Amino acid sequence: GDSVTQMEGPVTLSEEAFLTINCTYTATGYPSLFWYVQYPGEGLQLLLKATKADDKGSNKGFEATYRKETTSFHLEKGSVQVSDSAVYFCALSEGSGYSTLTFGKGTMLLVSP
Amino acid sequence: DAGITQSPRHKVTETGTPVTLRCHQTENHRYMYWYRQDPGHGLRLIHYSYGVKDTDKGEVSDGYSVSRSKTEDFLLTLESATSSQTSVYFCAIKTSGTNTGELFFGEGSRLTVL
């Protein structure tokens, strides 16, 4: 079945540092890939997505590129802020209809001033 | 804002008691989902619905049942709560016209079973 593996946290960075959170996936078809973010005490928000190979999703300074050859979708940001402290989830979906999301276990990011 | 309301937001109950969590949406979307979130496990699918009275099981459905008697409400029931069901429960919807699979989530319901 489908699965998503992402790096364990917490990831601890200083403000303005470069961020990478690794995500790899296993899927039977050609999934869409997502990053969700969860701020403390809140629900999950869609951060960015990519629907086919070589697509780059971007939002709020975060980027991730759909790499079919390495089955990866790593999240990056050039300069993190304290307000980026949250839990980040990588996820995939096999398609339309009632397709469900399969999530990684989440990576906590802590950014200090 | 996808118009999702979960209730209750917090609940403490005792082992063996029944519990029902409600997910309400205001936009008549067809697909609705229940996930649970636990440390070290991420989010795992419990049940989902693809229409009124049409539901199916997810990967962690044991001990849970669901009902959808009208489009706007998707209920998750724990017939006899156990401590292993202490978790944060999230409802999600897939908005109409979305064909790339993303879901939109409610704020969550934190359940503690003593």
Share of chain A above pLDDT 70, in %: 96
A7, A32, A100, A107: best to mutate for the B interface, most B CBs within 10 A: A100
Among A4, A6, A5, A20, which Cα is nearest to A107's?
Answer: A6
Among B2, B8, B102, B17, which Cα is nearest to A33's?
Answer: B102
Share of chain B above pLDDT 70, in %: 95
User: What pLDDT, in 10s, does the model give residues A8-62?
Assistant: 889 999 999 999 999 999 998 889 999 999 998 889 999 999 999 999 999 999 9
* B43 interaction partners in chain A (CB closer than 8 Å): 44, 89, 101, 103
Residue of A32, A51, A89 with shortest CB distance to B43: A89
| Distance, CA of B40 to CA of A30 (rounded, Å) | 27
Mean pLDDT of A86-102: 86
DSSP E strands in A1-113: the ranges are 3-6, 11-14, 19-21, 23-26, 32-38, 44-50, 56-59, 62-65, 75-77, 86-93, 101-103, 107-112
Mean pLDDT of A104-109: 96
Return the pLDDT at A41. 86
* A105 interaction partners in chain B (CB closer than 8 Å): 40-42
Model confidence at A104: pLDDT above 70: yes
Which residues are registered as beta bridge partners of A34?
A: A49, A91
Handedness of CA B91, A22, A49, A86 (dihedral sign): positive
Cβ within 8 Å, pair B102-A96: no
Q: Give me A62's structure tokens.
A: 């975060």
pLDDT tier at B3, thresholds 50, 70, 90: confident
Residue of A36, A46, A98 with shortest CB distance to B31: A98
A11/chain B closest Cα distance in angstroms: 15
Give me chain B's average pLDDT, please. Answer: 93
Q: Which helix (H) or strand (E) holds B78?
A: strand B73-78
Residue of A32, A34, A42 with shortest CB distance to B107: A42
Model confidence at B97: pLDDT above 70: no
